[in-house]
Chains A and B, each alone.
Chain A
């Protein structure tokens, strides 16, 4: 925080409670990109490959339930886990930190500017950001599920999911013109769309577009998982 404030403190005297519940929650959301996907991949990457590893997948296939239903059920269970995880995060990072650190205006730092949002104008942005985060994290869930179809043990899909996220995040962050053509379709870029709610005014068109791109990813990943699983030879 001191590093971010240094450039401002040279010129401005900053008064007020900078480290408040809202700021803590914003920092926690910032970690959404790396830490939460790991917790999601651990579960969603294991839903099919874990069963294959234990040898229970074949037994499951003997039941009079279509493969599509099995994958969809696994997907819905993973999405429920994802939403519960985010709700728990919201409770801890927003409500608990509001109780411990209190509330005040929110000062956030971007690469080229600092934005101050008044206290009364902040809470709804967090609610919207968490709803958006649920879509972003469901994308991770569906990716982990897709990779889970290919593997016979859980390590592969978990490592694979995290590797893809880390690689895409690095490409998103790099300011190399070479990758410019790729950036608009990388889902990691659109996972940051929750930050759009902390712009003033909010560019809804851009946030909705990013949300739409994530939903397309979810459909493609989950649909791909169903298609591949339906044609897969279950040998383990």
Chain B
């Protein structure tokens, strides 16, 4: 009888302790990810930005990307008019993980590009914030974040995929694909007076409601100092 009681007690203790162990494990992974990100105090990188949005026809543009701890981030075009998606700040991982104002939940393992990754969900503690949920796909060996899916209250969801190469030791990507929801773009024809070209319009293409921005990074300058002025809006 006594042995039975002990075994019940042990079973329930296990049930209580197990989530804590899991949480510890998740926090340990995030700690390692943050440690890797923490190596970079600031950086400046050249980038080639490609926009793929159904209602925008924009040529590829050369940009400079600036970052400074804790969460300063800006994409600037060297010359001319630039269109950078809002929420671009989310591209910066430190802004997501930096303030510890979230609860991390283990969501098991998943496969991403034929590679097993840990899936961790971050639930923000701030109820008033725009972000509702962020899901991180983390490489369990290198502790690099491979993908983030962020769900927001009003602007749908963002997905950011990172491709690492030369700068993986610094947890800095060589390529980044940022996809987001787009709203319809429509102006009255009476205002724009469009010239309707006499070509058969391709009706097979359906308008996508997702937009995509790809940035290919090169020439990172890491921890050499970045002036605060570059983060100010022009």
Contact = CB atoms under 8 A, between A and B. Distances in A.
- Determine which residue in A13, A17, A184 has the highest number of CB atoms from chain B within 10 A of its CB, and name it: A13
A196 B86 CA distance: 31
A192 B193 contact: yes
- Determine which residue in B57, B85, B180, B186 has the highest number of CB atoms from chain A within 10 A of its CB, and name it: B57
B62 to A, nearest CB: 11
B192 to A, nearest CB: 5
Contacts of B194: 110-111, 192, 195
Interface residues of A, number: 46
Contacts of A107: 81
A113 B55 contact: yes
A70 interface: no
Interface string A90-131: 000000000000001101011111111111000000000000
A69 B192 CA distance: 41
B205 interface: no
Given A11-B86, A206-B198, A206-B199, A110 B192 contact: yes
Interface string B116-143: 0000000000000000000000000000
Contact of A15 (B84, B188, B193): B84
Interface string A185-200: 0000100111110011
A31 B234 CA distance: 31
Contacts of B86: 10-13
Given A116-B57, A116-B83, A209-B198, A11 B234 contact: no
Contact of A173 (B58, B185, B189): B189
A112 B197 CA distance: 14
A17 to B, nearest CB: 7
B185 A16 contact: no
Contacts of B198: 184, 206, 209-210
A219 interface: no
Interface of A: 3-4, 7-8, 10-18, 30, 33, 104-105, 107, 109-119, 173, 175, 183-184, 189, 192-196, 199-200, 203, 205-206, 209-210
What 9 A-B pairs come out closest when comparing CB atoms? A16-B81, A195-B195, A105-B80, A192-B195, A105-B81, A115-B57, A206-B197, A113-B55, A12-B83
